[in-house]
């Protein structure tokens, strides 16, 4: 019994060490200023968005926490997220933003080249009250910083549109 418990603890600890050494998480840690655009729907005009966020590794290295604020011309609100490295290249978490009514649910994988994450994002749209499914890509950029892009599918015609694209630079 003691050996089984010790083996289980070794697996948990080694998984957390691997998450702490996660190059994507490491590249996202810090204080950031974001500048980009958002579109409320497929026919909406793009709006400029500004963000200020802080990302930190938490949970003994197993997760990345994001806290901050984003603003568009007519609205601003808090950003609060948690992405957990579930192991084997899988990720999960939650994100609250100015676009969501309550927390979005995140699930996905790391990119093949190891420079980012691709996350299915499910939430209730704060403006329309409708359920939304989007694909959120978080990509480290070679010059430093990162880019978050959200692609949604238009329910009327099935076409994909870019709902947001924000580039973050060190603050």
Using DSSP, state whether 16 is helix, strand or coil. Answer: helix
SS3 (DSSP) at 61? helix
Query: What's the start-to-end Cα distance of the chain, in Å?
Result: 50
CATH number for the segment(s) 2-170: 2.40.128.20
55-114 confidence digits (pLDDT tens)? 999 998 999 999 999 999 988 999 999 999 999 999 999 999 989 999 999 999 999 999
Query: Per residue in 11-44, pLDDT tens?
Result: 333 344 444 579 999 999 999 999 999 998 888 9
Report the predicted TM-score, pTM, of the whole model to 2 decimal places.
Answer: 0.85
């Amino acid at each position: 019994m003691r050996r089984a418990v010790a083996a289980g603890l070794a697996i948990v600890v080694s998984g957390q060490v691997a998450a702490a050494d996660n190059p994507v998480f490491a590249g996202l840690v810090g204080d950031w200023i974001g500048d980009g655009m958002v579109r409320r729907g497929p026919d909406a005009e793009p709006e400029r968005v500004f963000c200020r966020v802080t990302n930190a590794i938490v949970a003994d290295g197993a997760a990345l926490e994001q806290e901050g604020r984003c603003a568009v011309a007519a609205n601003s609100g808090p950003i609060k997220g948690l992405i957990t490295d579930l192991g084997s290249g899988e990720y999960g978490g939650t994100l609250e933003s100015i676009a969501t009514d309550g927390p979005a649910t995140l699930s996905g994988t790391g990119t093949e080249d190891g420079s980012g994450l691709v996350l299915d994002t499910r939430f209730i749209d704060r403006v329309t009250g409708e359920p939304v499914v989007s694909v959120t890509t978080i990509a480290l950029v070679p010059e430093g910083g990162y880019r978050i892009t959200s692609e949604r599918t238009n329910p009327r015609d099935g076409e994909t549109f870019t709902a947001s694209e924000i580039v973050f630079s060190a603050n």
